[in-house]
Amino acid sequence: MKRLAMHFLGALAWFAVTAAGAADLVEGKDYVRLKNSQPVETGKKIEVIEFFSYGCPHCHDLEPILQTWMQKLPPDVQFRRVPVMFQQRWEALAKIYYTLDAMGDEARLSPEVFKAVHDNGVPLYQDKAFFDWAASHGLDRTRVAEVYASAPRRRRMPITSSRCRSWSSTANS
């Protein structure tokens, strides 16, 4: 878990340095190359993965930089998020990510989720608070609750946990 957290923090630092316009990154100093490559979900594109949580204050701070960076992605780069669940409350926040993703609203509402959690103190890890919040952002509350409780959404959670462990076990500093 600590190793994954360190790689996560390293990725955050890399994004911050890249966003700030740093000249040359040095392997072993600024980032660590995975010893065993992992399969990608984006075909032949370069895949940039953010391991994140809506509950993470560092992810919240990175979000505006990341949003700006994502608007300038080269055509051969695909960005995607993988929620981490280091705390029980973060499991509920991962459910929110997968719900919004399944509904096609993740890109539009992820910045708003961060604001609700960190700037406004909304306890989105509580189901009712999330459903109320979703309805206040134009989503159908009943549909959100259905997707949130759906079998396809539930099946993605163990895959995420497994993926985080596999990345952690193959990334060595």
Give tens-digit pLDDT for 68-80.
999 999 999 888 8
Q: 90-121: string of b/e by CB count within 10 Å (b at 16+)?
A: bbbbbbbbbbbbbbebbeebbebbbebbbeee
Per-residue pLDDT, averaged over 92-120, amounts to 96
Q: What pLDDT does 161 receive?
A: 52
Paired with 48 in beta bridges are: 79
The alpha carbon of 56 is separated from its chain's Cα centroid by a whole number of angstroms, namely: 10
Element (H, E) at 151: helix 151-170
Element (H, E) at 79: strand 77-83
Per-residue pLDDT, averaged over 82-103, amounts to 91
pLDDT band at 156 (very low <50, low <70, confident <90, very high): low
The rounded mean pLDDT for the chain is: 80
Q: What pLDDT does 165 receive?
A: 56
Please compute Rg for the chain using Cα positions: 16
Q: What pLDDT does 139 receive?
A: 98
pTM of full prediction above 0.75? no
Task: Give the integer Cα–Cα distance in Å for 162 and 145.
Answer: 25
Task: Parse the chain into domains and list their residue ranges.
Answer: 36-160
Q: Which residue type sits at 144?
A: V
Third-level CATH fold of 36-160:
Glutaredoxin (3.40.30)
Residue keyed to tokens 């996560």: 8
